Structure 1
Amino acid sequence: MNLPEEFYKEEVRNDYRISSEMKKIWSVELDLFNQLDKICKRHNITYYADGGTLLGAVRHHGFIPWDDDMDFMMYRDDFEKLCSVASEFKEPYFFQTEETDPGSLRCHAQLRNSNTTGILKFEEDKKYPFNQGIFIDIFPLDNVPEDRDERLKFVNNLKELKQKAREYYDFNHGFAEKPRITGFHTLWQRINFPNKKRGYERLFKVYGEKNPYYKEYKEKVTKYKDSTGYVMDIAIHDDSKRLNSQYFGKPKYVPFEMVKMPIPENYDNILNRYYGDWHKLVRGQNIHGGCIFDVKIPYNQYLSK
């Protein structure tokens, strides 16, 4: 995208100073959004702004001043349709899922710019080989049970599978940390987990590079695909994100910085669900808990330093 030079200037919004460096990160994410929007329009894929991006679109007509990411959501059918045309994103753009980039294991999609760096701080030391350019998140919306106990059981089971998928990958690719356990604790571990390592090795021989826990996650996440009550970004595992499927409707495009962005028809209900009194300005923080950004250096160069 060709953004005006004025966009990159430092400014103050809502008593918060936005640096020119943050504006450069925003520009990369706006460009990624532009790519996503083009592909979705080309293939008649419906999607909506989500989370802080939705709040920013409605309340700020752009980024929340202290936010550094963009989130989008779409129903599972549209998500799978987008995955099927992922090859249309050309370099430096990369559509990342576990299928296109094994080991990323987000259980949602990220559209990345491969010529930049956007590494989650808690993953920096791992030096994972998958693409870690600056990204925007794309979450599939899946049906979940209306009964709370059944829903929590369902979502927690998926959360455990996602964690096991991460552990399986890390263990079998040399990224797992080896705890230093001695004395009594070593004996306790041997008694209670006598075949843990051999169990993982056995699984690896059976499945090879295919992660059995991710496979099970994919099979179970659409268990309630014929239901029509509530939907969730299940990859986040947060029951407060449960939404009534009637909230979405036909997306309406609203101003976001210098572009137009689709939001749900009944966005007010969603924002109330997410944030309560969302009109009240409350200083928040990024959901990722910190990210290393560089708009000039590709992630693989950064990791090789």
Structure 2
Amino acid sequence: MEMLGVKQIQGETLKMLKDFDDLCTNLELNYFIAYGSLIGAIRHKGFIPWDDDIDIWMPRKDFDKLLKYEFYKDIDFNKYKICTRSNTKNYAYGMARFSNQEFKYVTTDISEKDVDMGLFIDIYPLDNYCSSKEEAYKLHKKFKILNKEYFFYLSGKSNTLLKTIPRMILHILIRLVYGKNWDQRINKKINSYLEKYTNKDDRFIGVPVWELRFEPFEKDLFVGRKRVVFENINVWIPEKSDIILKKMYGNYMELPPISEQIPHHGYKVYRRN
């Protein structure tokens, strides 16, 4: 199988992003380019040159509709699937991935198990996130623990024997506590947390179920969206992207040191034969 380099990954992912945007238009779903991809959209009018993926925020109601879409029935989109813990064996993450199955994802992280996934776009659900940062932080900690438990449920391996021994002990204990098929039940736990600790009147929104950092946002930051050029296509970003990015990254228009201008993900992508 042919392994893709960073530029090839960017080129194929851009095609996926165009398809994703078309799909969202067809299904009347809202989304926003997110995180480093949002920096790229504003600072570089496309990919950050050394970045190798796309991040997207999606309001929960739109996210849930996307998860239910039957891609295999759509001739224009049947090469895609949405990977989640409930439908993809050994999938570790709390966000979903829009996956092109014409490619094969191969992890280089020894702690991660093999997963049937292709080249992907990360989809982060935007949920209500409490009405004070203190409450939001408590919820963040609950999900952080839940996600760590699930990660150890899947694997106890690490890159050193010293780390593997305690991880393997945790792995065995968590397997005994949760039993088989926890991947089929974890969504119920996630939904129970959201129902118990959040509601539509919350002051904040964010990604408590799987966030890159603790960052609740004022709801009005996501009220409007606008189209911008990303490489050679048009995508949606929040109208108040500047405020969001300054809140998250400070002076996001300044390039990081040369030593940090490298991809940070532990995987390779191959084109299936």
User: Normalization by structure 1: what TM-score?
Assistant: 0.74
Question: Where does structure 2 lack aligned partners over 5 or more consecutive residues?
Answer: none
Q: Is the 8 A contact 2:152 2:174 kept in 1?
A: no
Q: Which of 118, 130, 136 is the equivalent residue of 1:145?
A: 130
Question: Where does structure 1 lack aligned partners over 5 or more consecutive residues?
Answer: 1-19, 299-305
1:208 Cα deviation from its structure 2 partner: 4.2
Q: How many residues align?
A: 258
Cα distance in 1 for residues equivalent to 2:226 and 2:132: 31
- Higher mean alpha-carbon deviation, 80-89 vs 46-55, is at 80-89
> Residue 68 of structure 2 corresponds to which residue in structure 1?
84
- Counterparts of 1:1-305 in structure 2, within 5 Å, are 21-87=5-71, 88=74, 90-123=77-110, 126-128=112-114, 130-168=115-153, 170=154, 175-177=155-157, 197=172, 200-201=175-176, 203-204=178-179, 208=181, 210-222=183-195, 223-234=197-208, 235-236=210-211, 238-239=213-214, 241-283=215-257, 284=260, 289-297=264-272
After superposition, the C-alpha distances for 1:27-81 in whole angstroms (9 at most, x for unaligned) are 1111211221121111111100001111111111111111111000011111111
1:271 Cα deviation from its structure 2 partner: 1.0
Report the AA paired with residue 87 of structure 2: T
Radius of gyration: which is bigger? 1
After superposition, the C-alpha distances for 1:123-142 in whole angstroms (9 at most, x for unaligned) are 5x6542x3232211010011
Superposition CA RMSD, Å: 3.0
Cα distance in 2 for residues equivalent to 1:255 and 1:180: 48
Partner of 1:231, secondary structure, is: strand
Aligned sequence identity (%):
24
- Higher mean alpha-carbon deviation, 92-101 vs 136-145, is at 92-101
Change (3 A) 1:75 1:196: closer
Partner of 2:229, secondary structure, is: strand
User: Normalization by structure 2: what TM-score?
Assistant: 0.82
